[in-house]
Structure formats: structure tokens, C-alpha cells
Amino acid sequence: MSHLLAADIGGTKTIVALAARTRPWSSVVAERTYASRDFSMLEAIIQNFMARPEVAGNVGKVEAACLAVAGPVAGNGTVLTNLGWRIDARELAARFRLPSVTLINDFAAAGLGLPRLTAQDLVTLQHGLPREHGTQLVIGAGTGLGVGWLTWDGSRYRAHDSEAGHADFAPLDELQDRLLASLRRNFGRVSWERVVSGPGLMRIFSFLQEVGMESPSREMIEASKKRADATEIIGEFGVARRDPLAVRALDLFVATYGAFAGNVALATLAHGGVYIAGGIAPKIAAKLQEGGFMRAFTDKGRFSDLLKTIPVYVVMNPKVGLYGALLEAERLAGGVGV
């Protein structure tokens, strides 16, 4: 039986999978998640994965490999935006003796993976009025801020890359004006990713503390001493309303997240649905359902009514990008489920 190799490579984690080509979807036979920053290059991760006993015997059966990467792809190569790894598909194919390796943007891959999701993988924020074969949009905050979109070509959806997360941040009120001024002192130009991302949530938290909005609770200070992931702590304490500063930070984060998603939905007229993916959204899904996200999403003046017709979902399954990479590998190999 022939096999496919796929990976979803991000600034925080990298998921690698080997799949057997079966119907209707290729069946994953081996999968492993790596902490990306524990490695200096992707080659070390691929080498580790291929040496695993459940993988090694099938390496020679791989027909195609597709890697979803968190960065712009040009000439089948990339430099990861928030990790700095240089990845060249041709070099990987030669080193690991693979017939072909193709790189695609990670959020283009997430878009391609949408058909493999079930109803249980989605939380609805707005039902809207979905249009058959309408443009679909995938957005996700994590280490960075990813965007991808899909258009119907008459027979299937085609994915398109985007770097909209690096567009200029646009504040919507006085507090956001002050946030922009604060970030500008550190970064000069301020993109949406500087605000709507894991590091962005930490920046919002620090900004609110600096301007005297609140102070962190003793409970939260103690938690931060025991756990390294400050973003996760802020999200957890904010959702559970266990810390006033975390609550305010998460409120501001959700408002900017919703405003950005609404902007890109307007730019693409995503009548097929907006899918909020990435590492953060599933962890704060309860907060996203409270209404602040959708108020900011639809608060677009004369186009508010239009935004209210666009379906919006939270993607709870963290493997949607990996699914998309597998489906693209299937297509490149002659496809069984495409």
C-alpha cells in the first residue's frame, strides 16, 4: 500500500504524520507532535520521525509529501516568519529520498482541511446565511496570526495564501489608540499580528497593567511562577473570570480579534463562512461565544448588515492544517479522496 507524508509546521509546534492511502480519507498510521523551538531546523524533526519503528519500514512507500508552513511560500521554499527556519522542498526531497515534497501555507492548508471536519469540530458564533460555494475564510491566532481563503472553481475549492495578519493594526477606540502608541514605541510599525496572537495577548496584559487599569491577583502571580506559558494562563484566568486584569486583557484581545476577522471577511466577501482556527481560539471558545467577538466583527458601519449574513465558526480540532496537507498530498499523488 502506498503512503503519504504530511506535516503542519508552526512556531510553537510541528505535527508530522504518515498516512496510508485509503478511501474516503487517507488513514494516519503514525503521528507525532514536536515542540518546534526544541529543534534548530525542520530536517532534525523529519529525521527523528522517519527513524521511528512504525515509520521506518514504510518510508520507501511514500508517494508524495506536503508540508504546511507558517510563512509565505515562493519557489517551493520559505523562511518561517516566527521561527526563522529556512525550508527548501527540493533539498528535503533529496535528503530523505522522497519522490516529491510540496510546501503550502499553513492557513491555506487549514482551509483545504475544512471538508474533513465534523459538526463536533465546530462551534457556531453566527449562523448567518451561508451561500453554496461561497468564498471561505480561515483565520487563526497562535504564535502568529494566520489567514487563508478559498474560492470555488466550479468543481472544488482552491486555497489561496494570505499575509493579511501583517497588515497595519487599526485601533477602534481611545484605549486601542493608547495600545497602538505603546506598541509603536517598541516596534515602530505595528501589524495586527503584534496584537492578535499569543505574544499579542501578553502585550495587551502588560499594557493594561502599565497604564494602571488593574493589577494581577495573587493567585495568578503564583500560577505564573509554576507554569511557563503566560498566554495560556491569561486566557485560562480570563475565561474563568478569576483575575480582573486577565478579564480586561482578554476582552480587549477578543475585540481586536473580532474586528480583524470582520475586516478580512469584508475584503474577501466570505459568504461561505469564516472559520476561526489556530491555537488560541479553542481554548477561549467560551469567551468568543459571549458576544464581544461578534460585536466587533459586525461593527462595520454601513456594512454591518452584510457582516451579519456571514456564518462564523470556531474550529475546535487542532489538526485541520494537517488534514489539509494530507488532502493536498493525496491530490498531488493522484488522489483517492479528492
Asked if residue 67 belongs to a domain, the reply is yes
Q: Is residue 128 part of a domain?
A: no
pLDDT > 70: what percent of the chain? 99
In this structure, the answer to whether residues 47 and 66 fall within a common structural domain is: yes
Give the model's pLDDT for residue 225: 78
- Confidence at residue 338, expressed as pLDDT on a 0 to 100 scale: 36
Q: Is residue 120 part of a domain?
A: no
Looking at the fold, whether 309 and 170 belong to one and the same domain comes out as: yes
Q: Determine contact, residues 30/52, Cβ cutoff 8 Å.
A: yes
Alpha-carbon distances, residue 315 vs 16, 230, 235, 269 (angstroms): 20, 23, 17, 20
CATH number at residue 266: 3.40.367.20
Q: Quote the distance between the C-alpha of residue 135 and its chain's center.
A: 18
262 and 308 fall within a common domain: yes
Hey, how many other C-beta atoms are within 10 angstroms of the C-beta on 100? 16
pLDDT at 335: 57
Q: Are 338 and 330 spatial neighbours (Cβ–Cβ below 8 Å)?
A: yes
The domain containing residue 35 runs over which residues? 3-113+319-332
pLDDT at 89 over 90: yes
Which cell numbers hold the place of 79?
523562511
| 171 and 72 co-located in one domain | no
Q: Is the pLDDT of residue 209 over 50?
A: yes
**Would residue 48 count as lying in a domain?**
yes
In a domain, 294, yes or no: yes
CATH number assigned to the domain comprising residue 79: 3.30.420.40
Residue 241 zone, left/alpha/beta (φ > 0; ψ -120 to 50; rest): left
pLDDT score recorded for residue 277:
97
Claim to verify: residue 192 and residue 96 sit in the same structural domain: no
| Confidence (pTM) | 0.93
Mean predicted lDDT score pLDDT of the chain: 93
pLDDT digits (tens, 9 = 90+) for 12-66: 899 999 999 888 888 899 999 999 999 999 999 999 999 999 999 888 899 999 9
The 10s digit of each residue's pLDDT in 155-201 is: 999 999 999 999 999 999 999 999 999 999 999 999 999 999 999 99
Task: Give yes or no: residues 76 and 214 share one domain.
Answer: no
Q: Are residues 181 and 254 both part of a single domain?
A: yes
Tell me, what's the pLDDT at 291?
96
Whole-number Cα distances in Å, 169 to 186, 221, 303: 14, 30, 20
Amino acid letter for position 250:
L
Asked if the structure places residue 144 within a domain, the reply is no
Counting the structural domains of the chain, the total is: 2
Instruction: Mean pLDDT check: name the lowest of 223-227, 236-240, 261-265.
Output: 223-227
Q: What is the pLDDT of residues 304-325, one digit of tens each?
A: 999 999 999 999 999 999 999 9
- My answer on whether 184 and 275 are in the same domain is yes
Residue 96 confidence (pLDDT) above 50: yes
Query: According to the model, what pLDDT value does residue 147 have?
Result: 96
Q: 45 and 186: one domain?
A: no
Q: Are residues 328 and 293 in the same domain?
A: no
Residue predicted with more confidence, 229 or 252: 252
Is the predicted pLDDT of residue 337 greater than 70, yes or no?
A: no
Residues 170, 60 share a domain: no
Asked if residue 184 belongs to a domain, the reply is yes
* Of 44, 38, 33, residue with least CA distance to 9: 33
User: Which pLDDT band holds residue 228 (cuts at 50, 70, 90)?
Assistant: confident
Q: What is the mean pLDDT of residues 201-207?
A: 95
Say whether both 193 and 269 belong to one domain. Answer: yes
Give phi and psi for 146, each to the nearest 5. -95, 150
Decide if 207 is inside a domain.
Answer: yes
